[in-house]
Structure 1
């Protein structure tokens, strides 16, 4: 087996583990959205998602960029044989994060009432205050959990990240929410059920990271000496994580800002509808998330060794897999959004048009694959920061202009345009600055057939039979069968033999 084949096989194995975890996370995230929507209704669900949005923004802020930096630095140190520097890097990663996240949690608790006045309409400010104070203590652990899990990825364990972040935490949330509501514990329990698994995840991630560190230190590796003027591992870590920390905050702001602004500018009711519809869009990113988990350490190691041709090949093949797995999801959501949203109960059908707008935008984003990961693993966190600033300006300006007039449809247009700006900027930089090309070859075959089976067929079925349950079921049956057959026929173009080999090896 050649070096390129080994790298693809490793990506396939890691991607399969990540994909399995991402599927569970997507399914359980979907289940949680249904539970929240049905138990709380549109208005209180809007308050819930607004609080979740604020929590995620603060958690990302207090990570200080150390999560992505730890993936890159750990993979680089292992590739260069400098494992003796891992412990100092971990110390310098965790201490600042904990020093920031603790006070942030205390501030969230103390400022719960004024924040509730800003984020919720008068009828729901009391429940918003309760939700904020229930989530606050877990903010102190959320950032440290993310950093610890990033460290396990950098040290080669995709499984730990998948089990803790994509299986345990998402699975516990809807199960705990349903259990508590069955005993009549009230709406506050739903927020507590969402928060509690964060603390459990921190404990498991910390133990796993320590075990992986000890194992990495015992591995015999040839050490690559420092070049003259090359910064130390700790210095390089924070030179990278500083811009990345700001960019990550902007990134999470872009994801959740629409929900916050709809809640503040329109109503909690509309915020609940928009948050529910937009969560479907994040569900479709499970394929790119699985690929990112596997590909990031490999791209970092390849670029550290200046093996650009292999990095380009790995990036291209992984992008073909991403398109093959994600485009059908977004095309189906665009065609049958009205039916899909009926699963959340009455009052959510108004999210169909925003869902369709976001789904179409995501087709372009997925066609660029893990372009953001490649940019970061190439050490260009400052470029990523510039892109995020441009994207944030786009979302703020368009949201302020469009939401007052068009409501959640305007919010969807703003978010869709923002994702396109961010993706195109990163793709141009990867091509012109890092010198990695992504031609149409790896993704043309799955893209064209996805458009036929899930796009054209979906439009035809929707036009002829409407968006009902029977039409949707028949459409999925025919589209999945036809698409699966065409992918099988073109499996050589997609390097599917590597994926199949990984599946067989994991099954033996």
Structure 2
């Protein structure tokens, strides 16, 4: 168990760290190379693409992880059917979204199906307990490729749709390589009756939750652009770019332990599930709190990397840092909740969080711009973390910190 966190967890965090740095560099490149209005339009378009692709994924990836992780050797022959049952609805949803959004996103819309299918295939590899494809492809190839291609486009004077296409192209090789990585693990077998029904019975509530989560992560940028203009959207994106550190770190740890949590909770081993949860939370706090404290202290200087006009966003950075420290202290509460099968409860929690964010955004952004947007986002994050934290305590007695924390850290360090 310690080896899971020690090797896979830290590998996931390594990929998350590289991705966070690359995304930060990408924002610096765009804000330095283009006026605030044009930079804001780029950030809005890419946020919209990520939001829509997150919706079109239907959370099928987590459904695949659930079924693949629970499978035993004798049932591996049905896994190819689960993968096909997951891919078809997601692909259809992505194609529909691409057609609808083409007038708004241009050629970037045509890349949405590739983004969606690549994510689902990478999730299937994690169902087997393998982290390397996700770390190398999603954690390294995509963000580094985006920095190189967008930077090259900026040097060449490309703007508008050409810049967004440069951002989206790295998803093409990810799809090809993820599919190749699965071929050796999954024998292609006839489709077993009931496979799709089983998959989507579990995944359907989580599909809505995944869509809401995708909206929650990106809707603030779109609302700022609509209510306060693209220049304010650029300022808000720059000041909150560091929130990707927490998101990616949490994602990296969650990806590494999700399959183990599913197995532990399915087998009724709450002790083992609690140890995994507490070890992951401890590492999340140890590795991200120094980042947030440093960002809060250095915000006046860090924000000027984006350009002189971005120095006014220091209060936004302070709210961001404080909120992320609270969120990381709760650990990956939603992952644990869904690993226990409570997808409907997770959906209700996300609805409450998005509702809180949107209401606060509508009330605060017109008068306060980027600061109002980060306040709305912070309210949603608090709701999103505290609700499942209370539910896990009430139903399973699970806590992010406890008697397993220090022993788990010692065993993880040894591993």
What TM bracket, shorter-length normalisation?
Answer: over 0.9
Structure 1 counterpart of 2:339: 377
Please state how far the C-alpha of 1:495 moved relative to its aligned partner: 4.0
**Match for 1:102 among 80, 88, 95?**
95
Structure 1 counterpart of 2:9: 15
| 1:494–1:22 CA distance, 2 compared to 1 (3 A) | farther
Please state how far the C-alpha of 1:11 moved relative to its aligned partner: 2.2
Q: How far, CA to CA, are the matches of 2:136 and 2:208 in structure 1?
A: 28
Deviations 1:332-354 (A, max 9, x none): 11222111111111211122111
Structure 1 counterpart of 2:76: 83
Deviations 1:131-155 (A, max 9, x none): x102111012111111111001111
Deviations 1:56-106 (A, max 9, x none): 12101111120111111111114x852122111111111111122112212
**Match for 1:49 among 39, 43, 46?**
43
Determine helix, strand or coil for the equivalent of 1:285: helix
Structure possessing the higher relative contact order (Cα contacts under 8 Å, 6 or more residues apart): 2
Q: How far, CA to CA, are the matches of 2:186 and 2:345 in structure 1?
A: 30
Structure 1 counterpart of 2:28: 34
User: Are residue 254 (structure 1) and residue 167 (structure 2) matched?
Assistant: no
User: Are residue 137 (structure 1) and residue 131 (structure 2) matched?
Assistant: no
**Conserved in 2, the CA contact under 8 Å of 1:285 and 1:326?**
no
Please state how far the C-alpha of 1:498 moved relative to its aligned partner: 3.3
Please state how far the C-alpha of 1:426 moved relative to its aligned partner: 0.9
User: Are residue 25 (structure 1) and residue 29 (structure 2) matched?
Assistant: no
**Conserved in 1, the CA contact under 8 Å of 2:281 and 2:332?**
yes
**Conserved in 1, the CA contact under 8 Å of 2:80 and 2:187?**
no
Structure 2 counterpart of 1:333: 295
Determine helix, strand or coil for the equivalent of 2:46: helix
Counterparts of residues 8-407 of structure 1 (less than 5 Å): 8-78=2-72, 81-109=74-102, 111-112=103-104, 132-214=105-187, 234-407=196-369
| 1:316–1:35 CA distance, 2 compared to 1 (3 A) | same
Q: Give the count of matched residue pairs.
A: 412
Q: How far, CA to CA, are the matches of 2:231 and 2:401 in structure 1?
A: 44
Deviations 1:170-219 (A, max 9, x none): 0011111222333333454321211101122111111112223249x9xx
Please state how far the C-alpha of 1:395 moved relative to its aligned partner: 0.8
Q: How far, CA to CA, are the matches of 2:392 and 2:74 in structure 1?
A: 27
Q: How far, CA to CA, are the matches of 1:499 and 1:214 in structure 2?
A: 34
Structure 2: unaligned runs, 5 residues or longer: none
Structure 1: unaligned runs, 5 residues or longer: 1-6, 113-131, 218-230, 444-492, 503-508
Determine helix, strand or coil for the equivalent of 1:348: helix
- Aligned-residue RMSD, C-alpha: 2.0
Structure 2 counterpart of 1:498: 411
Determine helix, strand or coil for the equivalent of 1:58: helix
Q: How far, CA to CA, are the matches of 2:13 and 2:400 in structure 1?
A: 23
Q: How far, CA to CA, are the matches of 1:287 and 1:152 in structure 2?
A: 19
Deviates more, 1:181-190 or 1:386-395: 181-190
Determine helix, strand or coil for the equivalent of 2:157: coil
Please state how far the C-alpha of 1:440 moved relative to its aligned partner: 5.0
Please state how far the C-alpha of 1:289 moved relative to its aligned partner: 2.2
Q: How far, CA to CA, are the matches of 1:439 and 1:199 in structure 2?
A: 40
Counterparts of residues 347-496 of structure 1 (less than 5 Å): 347-439=309-401, 493=406, 495-496=408-409
Determine helix, strand or coil for the equivalent of 2:185: helix
Please state how far the C-alpha of 1:236 moved relative to its aligned partner: 3.2
Q: How far, CA to CA, are the matches of 1:439 and 1:200 in structure 2?
A: 40
**Conserved in 2, the CA contact under 8 Å of 1:65 and 1:243?**
no
| 1:256–1:249 CA distance, 2 compared to 1 (3 A) | same
